[in-house]
């Protein structure tokens, strides 16, 4: 992936991991500061910028990922194609493309903004809180997936009907239905009415 000023500032040349910083925002999405990632998620949570990606194949099936068991937040649960946080100063679109490549080893053949949604979802298992101003993106994937096992435990392409069955039978991230419902108008525009989204 190309290096931008925002990503370069978060790359360590000596191999040590720097603290991951998030962009704090107000209710309108205007940046008001920064906070360390884990601190921003500790109850009651600090409102911060995030993104969620929904990628589909040519048959209109949604690419889901099951989060790796080693993740500190919501490990082992199913969620949308990719989600995460822009670095301070990084455009949400650039962050969405970057993390999709880092987690799944793919670059979407199409990626388009699909609005924003603001939510507050506590995670009953970890006690962490998702207070997020989330930028939504929808797109297409035409490449072979190459998931990073430290990020992704499993992937699956599902139809709308299969998603409903899977959602009833398996744990999903606390934010999944909120972001999916907010992205549905753009998803329907992308996949067409016959896909059932």
DSSP string, the chain: ----HHHHTT--TTSPPPPPEEEEE-TTS-EEEEEEHHHHHBTT---EEEEEEEEE-TTS-EEEEEEPTT-SSSTT-EE-SEEE-PPTT--HHHHHHHHHHHHHS---SEEEEEEEEEEEEE-TTT-BEEEEEEEEEEEE--SPP---TTTEEEEEEE-HHHHHHHHHHS-B-TTHHHHHHHHHHHHHHHH-GGG--
Among all residues, which ones are annotated catalytic?
A: 83, 132
């Amino acid at each position: 992936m190309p290096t931008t000023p925002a990503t370069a500032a978060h790359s360590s040349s000596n191999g040590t991991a720097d603290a991951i910083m998030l962009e704090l925002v107000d209710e309108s999405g205007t940046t008001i500061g920064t906070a360390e990632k884990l601190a921003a998620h500790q109850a009651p949570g600090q409102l911060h910028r995030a993104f969620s990606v929904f990628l589909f194949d040519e048959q209109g099936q949604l690419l889901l990922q099951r989060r790796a068991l080693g993740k500190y937040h919501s490990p082992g649960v199913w969620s949308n194609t990719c989600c995460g946080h822009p670095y301070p100063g990084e455009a949400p679109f650039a962050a969405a493309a970057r993390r999709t490549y880092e987690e799944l080893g793919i670059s979407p053949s199409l990626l388009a903004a699909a609005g924003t949604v603001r939510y507050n979802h506590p995670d009953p298992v970890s006690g962490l809180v998702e207070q997020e101003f989330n930028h939504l993106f929808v797109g297409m994937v035409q490449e072979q997936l190459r998931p990073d096992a430290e990020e992704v435990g499993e992937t699956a392409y599902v139809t709308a009907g299969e998603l409903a069955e899977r959602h009833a039978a398996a744990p999903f991230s606390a934010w999944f239905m909120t972001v999916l419902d907010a992205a549905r108008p753009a998803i329907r525009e992308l996949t067409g009415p016959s896909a059932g989204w």
